[in-house]
Amino acid sequence: MRVLPDPEISLRDAADFICDSSLCRAALSGVTPPEYAVLVWDIIAAVHRLTVSCHLPEFTDHGLAHLCSLVDRICRWTPPPGGGARSTVVDELEPNECAVLLLATLLHDIGMLSQRTEDLDDPTDPRWTRGYRETANWVRKTHIPRIGGLVTRLFRISHPAFFAPDSLLLRAIPIAKAHGSWPWQADFASLPGRDSALASVVAVADLLDEDSNRCDTKTLVQHRQGTLLNKAHWIRRGLTADRVLVEGGQVHVRLLRPPGTASQLAPVYAALRNHYRLTLLYSAALEQINAGLLAPIHLNPPDGVPLVEATNLGDWNDIPGLETQSALVFHLLSSFMAEATLDDQKLPRETIDRLRAQGFEPVDLASFQATRGSRERRSPEELAFRALISA
């Protein structure tokens, strides 16, 4: 088993790790354009450059370490029994599918490393206006809509052949963007053929990259200018003990709790367990490549709050704005997608019914939802304050 590169990763280490992966080797074993290997290198270099020059440092990692983790997870993903004792997902794919999957994986979060409005298809679209949102939340909200424009701006001049119709890159972009959609939504459902399976591989690998390797309390304390939502994302990564892989179609997760916390965090762990269950929504598409996930997700503990503490979160209450368990609960719940919390104020009834049919557990959002008592737009800080006084 190859060791993942150091978190303080260098460009050369990352490029060596990715280019030596079974995914990249399989991609290059087929009939790819002569410039394909150069494009892969240039994407890796662009991610490194954006991380150094543009990335908001208080974000959890979306740069080279994250990409290496996803490539590694994809290469080690073994399908359910019956696919061959040594078979991996990569073995189930054609070389051109591996080429597209590698590009989509490298590009799926590139928008998180950039902050330019002009990369949007329509910068005047009211959905993407910054309004009262600070830069960090705007970047998170728009990182998928900006992928196409950003990739075009970065590579159209240097790699014009990859912008011809039916090129590997133009096929990879909608697959990369689909990691922000569910299988029943248009951006995902419109993918042709086995591209929906490739999109599912990216989405599941990304959902599983939730472990404590992406949490560093030193960074949390250093970047005090970051929003409380960003800090909650960091802390949430520390609640999963180990790297989560897909082995024989199964997913095993071991959860931890921050020191000094107790039963008040129960809604957070219900949402976190649901987060991992979201991977099951892609099983039907994954079956196209013999990679479907076997339900249920194996969770330890299966319910309630873990007894074992996360030692790397020992100083969580030294972070400004997160001094109390109530504040921690509010901001951690804020960091989840509505689908993980089964938030009936954000999701249609049919979506909630669909998720419950998959075994999702209810999440107690009473104090969290009390902040939405009016239609008046409120800042994140005011919402947090209102949640605390209503708890």
* Backbone φ, ψ for residue 131 (5° rounding): 50, -130
Rounded Cα gap, residues 63 and 206, in angstroms:
13
Interhelix angle for 325-334 vs 266-277, to 10°?
Answer: 20
Using DSSP's 3-state secondary structure scheme, residue 240 falls into strand
Rounded Cα gap, residues 140 and 135, in angstroms:
9
Using DSSP's 3-state secondary structure scheme, residue 260 falls into coil
CB-CB contact of 182 with 207 (8 Å): no
Residue 234 corresponds to which tokens in the numbers above?
């960091």
Rounded Cα gap, residues 321 and 144, in angstroms:
29
Strand order in the sheet with 250-254: 246-247, 250-254, 298-300
Stated as kind and residue range, the H or E segment containing 300 is strand 298-300
Transcribe 106-117 into DSSP letters: HHTTGGGG---G
**Cβ-based neighbours of 350, under 8 Å, separated by 6 or more:** none
**Cβ-based neighbours of 349, under 8 Å, separated by 6 or more:** none
CA 104 and chain centroid, separation: 13
Q: What pLDDT tens digit does each residue of the chain (391 aa) get?
A: 677 766 556 889 999 999 999 999 999 998 889 899 999 999 999 999 998 887 666 666 778 989 999 999 999 999 988 755 558 999 999 999 999 999 999 999 999 888 888 888 887 777 777 655 577 778 888 889 999 999 999 999 999 999 999 999 999 999 999 999 999 999 999 999 999 999 999 999 999 998 877 666 666 656 555 678 778 888 898 999 999 999 999 999 999 999 999 999 999 999 999 999 999 999 999 999 999 999 999 999 999 999 999 988 888 888 878 888 988 998 899 999 999 999 998 999 999 999 999 999 999 998 777 765 544 445 556 666 665 555 5
The domain limits of the chain are: 1-209, 218-391
CB-CB contact of 69 with 213 (8 Å): yes
DSSP bridge pairs for 300:
254
Rounded Cα gap, residues 198 and 298, in angstroms:
24
CB-CB contact of 118 with 103 (8 Å): no
Residue whose tokens read 């590139």: 110
What local confidence, expressed as pLDDT, does residue 84 receive?
54
Residue 258 corresponds to which tokens in the numbers above?
């921050």
What local confidence, expressed as pLDDT, does residue 218 receive?
61
